[in-house]
Chains A and B, each alone.
Chain A
Amino acid sequence: MTQRVAATPGLYPLPDWAKETLSELKGHQKGDLLSGDEGEAIVEQYDEVRAEFVDDQLDAGLDRVVEGQGRWDDMIAHPLTVHDSVETGGIVRYYDNNNFYRDPRVVDDLDFSGDVARELEAAGDLLADADGAADASLAATLPGPYSLADLATNEHYGDEADFQAAVAEFLAGEVAAFPDHETLFLLEPSLVTNPPAEGAESTATDAIATVADATDADVVVQTSYGALGEKLYAHLVDEAGADALGLDLVAGDRDDTVYNVQEFGATDSLALGLVDGQNTLVEEPETVAERVEWFESQVPAEGFDRTYLTPNTELFYLPANKYRAKLNALAAAAEVLD
C-alpha cells in the first residue's frame, strides 16, 4: 500500500517578529544580505526562527520536518551566494515572481562549504529534543544542480555542462556532510522554466544523479511552475537517481503531467505539489486528499512506495499565518487518506 507522507521542501517565510528584528540587525540594502559569517546577535535570531519553524511543523503534524531555510535571503541560490568562491552581482528576478536575489558569480573552485550542513545539524538537534516528534523525521533541502547552475553566472568553469557538473560535485560534497536525514528535497524549478536544450537532457540528469548518489536518504526532485516537457520527464524518471519526482499539480496544465506519467511511467515514489505556495487561499484537506487519489488513479501502476503531499512551490511567498495554514492543510490531508 502506498504510504502518504506530508512534507514540504522548506524555504518558509520568516515570522513577522523576525522580519523586523533581522532587518534592524542587518539592514535593507544589497550589501546587508547574508554572507554566511553573520555575527552572534544575528545567529541567535536565526536559532529562534529555526526553533519556531520546527515547532510549526510538529504542531501541524507533518511527517517530515525541514530546517525551514530562514537564512536563505537569496532563496535557492543561497548555497552559492554564501560561498567564498562566489561574488554576488546585481539583484535579479527570481523566476517569474516579484522577488529578487543576488546573482551569484562563480569565480573560483566550488570547494566544500558546510553552511547547509550546519543548519541541518541544528534542526536535527531541535527535532531530537522535541516532544511529540516520534512520528516525524528530518528532511534536507537543497537546490538541484540544474537550477542552481541556471540561477548563477559561471565565470570560472568551462562550458554549461562543465558548470552543471561542478555545481553537482559541490552539492554532493555538501550532502555528504549532512547529518542523518530521511529525505532529501532537491528543488529544480528551472527544469520547467528554462529546460535543457534538446540533447542536453542527460547532462542535467547526470548532475542530479551525482547529488542523489551522495545520500542514502529518499531523494525527491521537486519541480515547479507547471508540467515538465515530455522528453525531459522521461529522462528524469530513468536517469536522475530520484526516488520521487515532484510534480506541480497547481500551476500550468495538469493534463500534461498526467500525460507524462501515463506515457512514460513514474518513479517508485511520487511527490505531488497539491497546495498553492503562491496563493493565500487555503485548500480544504478533503480536496487535497481527493486530488491525491485522483492523480494516483491516473497512473498505470500497482501503487507507489510513497506519495509525498507537498506545496507546489516554496512557501516564503505567503504571509506567515497562511504558511502555517498550508502546513496544517497538508498534514490534515494525509490524515484523511489514512
Chain B
Amino acid sequence: MVRNPDANRDQFRPHDHPNDAFLLTTVVGSYPKPKWLNRADELVEDPDSKFDASDLEEAHDDACRLVTREHERAGLDTVVDGEMRRNEMVEFFADRIDGYEFNGPVKVWGHNYFDKPSVVEEVAYDEPWLVDEFEFTSDVSERPVKVPITGPYTLGFWAFNEAYPSTEELVYDLADLVNEEVEKLVEAGARYIQIDEPALATTPEDHAIVGEALERIVSGIDEDVRIGLHVCYGDYSRIYPEINDYPIDEFDVELCNGEYEQIPTFTDPEFEPDLALGVVDAHTAEVESVEAIKENIRQGLRVVPPEKLTVSPDCGLKLLPRDIAYGKMENMVTAVREVEAEIDSGAIDVDDPLDD
C-alpha cells in the first residue's frame, strides 16, 4: 500500500515560495563530473604521482560543493551532490557491502564495460555507505538534500550470483541492508530517499520481487520521510497498476524521451503515489525551451493534481555536457514556477490541463 506522501511533502516547500500551487522540483541524481575531477580520479591511480587519497577526497568535497551549489542556483527545491563520489551505480555500493567481489570488467555493448561484481557469500552491512556524503552535502546546502540509493533488485540482478540459491533471496537480503542504511540516513537528518531500480525495466515480470524488497526497505521508517522509486526506460504498462501497491510516496518516471506516449497508462486506475514526472530528456544535448517544458508538465496534470506532482529530469544527467545539464535544470524550474502561477490564476484548468 502506498505510504502517505501528504505527510512529508510540505517540508520541501520553501518559505519564500512565490505561488499557492507547489510542484516539488528535484533531480534524479547523477550530474556531469567536471573534467578536472575525472583527471583527479585517474591521477590518484598513478603510482608516479604525488596526488594521494586525501587529495582526492578534497577534490570530491570541492566537486560536491560546486555541484550542490549549481543545483541551488538552478532554483531546485531539493538538491543532490550529483553523485560526484560515485563511480558507477552498482559498483559504488558493491564496494561497500561485504559479500561482493570484483573480477574485472564485462561488456555491456561495443567498448562500453561495467565492473560487474560477483556475490560470493552472504551479503552483510559493514560501514555506512552514504551517511558521510549526506552530512557533507547537507552542511553545504541551504535546501533539503535528496539521497538516491541503487535499489536491491538492481544490486542483485546486475551482479553475478554465486552464493544464493536464487537471486530473489539475495535481493531480500540486500533490501534489509538498504533498510539499515536508510535508518542511518534518517538518523543523520535525511528526509528524502530515492530508490533507483533501472533493472526492473528490463524484467518487469519481477515487479512482485521489487514490491517485497520495498516493504523491507521502508520497515520502521516514519512517514515524515519521503520514499521515492525511480524506474526508467521501460514499458510501464507492465508494472502498472501494480506499483500502486508499493510502499512508496512517489514514483519517478522517464516519459519525456517517449513524448508522453505512456501517460494514459497511469490514468486508469487512479494513480496513488505522488507522480515525479521527467520533463526534460536526459539523452538529448539541447536545452528544451521553457514553453516546451511547460507543455510537458501539463502532461503530468493528466495523472495527478498539482499537490501530487513532482517535476524532475527523465533520468540522471551525467552523460550530458555540463552547461546543457545546467540549462535543462534552470529552464525546468522556470517552467514549473510559471505553471504554478498559471494554476493559481486559473489559466491552466487542472481538470483539463492540456486545454489552453
A320 sits at the interface (CB 8 A): yes
> Do residues B106 and A13 form an inter-chain contact, with CB atoms below 8 A?
yes
Question: Shortest distance in angstroms between A282's beta carbon and chain B's nearest beta carbon?
Answer: 9
What distance in Å separates the Cβ of B249 from its nearest Cβ neighbour in chain A? 29
Among B104, B110, B158, B202, contact of A30 (Cβ-Cβ < 8 Å): B110
* A302 in the interface (beta carbon within 8 A): no
| CA of A94 to CA of B106, assembled, Å | 15
Question: What 1/0 mask marks residues of chain B from 96 to 114 whose CB sits below 8 Å from any chain A CB?
Answer: 0000000111111111110
- Chain B residues positioned under 8 Å from A319 (CB to CB): 103-106, 116
Q: Which of A19, A27, A101, A317 gathers most chain B CB within 10 Å?
A: A19
Number of interface residues of B (CB under 8 A): 20
Q: B71 to chain A: closest CB distance in Å?
A: 27
A contact patch SS: loop
A91 to B110, CA, bound (A): 10
- 8 Å CB contacts to A: which residues of B115-167? 116, 118, 158, 160-162
- B104: chain A residues at CB < 8 Å are 16, 319-321
The answer on a CB contact under 8 Å between A32 and B162 is: no
Given contact pairs A93-B202, A96-B202, A319-B105, A73 touches B110 in the complex (Cβ within 8 A): yes
Contacting residues, chain B, for A98 (C-beta < 8 A): 108, 158, 199, 202
B203 adjacent to chain A (CB < 8 Å): yes
| In the bound complex, CA of A96 to CA of B161 (Å) | 16
| A28 and B110 in contact, given A16-B105, A19-B105, A280-B103 (Cβ under 8 angstroms) | yes
A100 to B109, CA, bound (A): 5
Q: Number of A-B pairs whose CB atoms are under 8 Å?
A: 65
Q: What interface size band does chain A fall in?
A: 20 to 34
A187 to chain B, nearest CB (A): 16
List residues of A (287-338) whose CB comes within 8 Å of B's CBs. 316-322
The answer, among B113, B161, B199, for a CB contact under 8 Å with A279, is: B161
Contact between chains at B107 and A279 (CB < 8 Å): no
A280 and B105 contact, CB distance less than 8 A = no
B105: A residues at CB distance < 8 A: 16, 19, 319
A27 CB contacts on chain B under 8 angstroms: 111
Q: Is A28 within 8 A of B112, CB to CB?
A: yes
* CB–CB B162/A281 < 8 A: yes
- Report A98-113 residues with CB < 8 Å from chain B CB: 98-101
Judge if A26 is at the interface, Cβ distance under 8 Å: yes
A residues in contact with B202, CB < 8 Å: 93, 96, 98
Q: Is the CB of B160 within 8 A of A280?
A: yes
Contact A26 B111 (CB under 8 A): yes
Within the assembled complex, what's the spacing in Å between the Cα atoms of A23 and B112?
A: 8
User: What 0/1 pattern do residues 184 to 202 of B give for CB contact below 8 A with A?
Assistant: 0000000000000001001
Let me know if B103 and A322 touch, CB within 8 A.
Answer: yes
Residue ranges of A at the interface with B (Cβ–Cβ < 8 Å): 13-14, 16, 19, 22-23, 26-30, 32-33, 73, 91, 93-94, 96, 98-101, 278-281, 316-322
- Starting from the known contacts A33-B110, A73-B109, A280-B103, 18 additional A-B residue pairs (CB-CB under 8 Å) come to A19-B105, A23-B113, A28-B111, A28-B112, A30-B110, A32-B110, A91-B109, A93-B202, A99-B107, A99-B108, A100-B109, A278-B160, A280-B118, A281-B162, A316-B106, A316-B107, A319-B116, A321-B104
Q: Which 3 A-B pairs have the closest CB atoms?
A: A23-B111, A319-B104, A100-B109
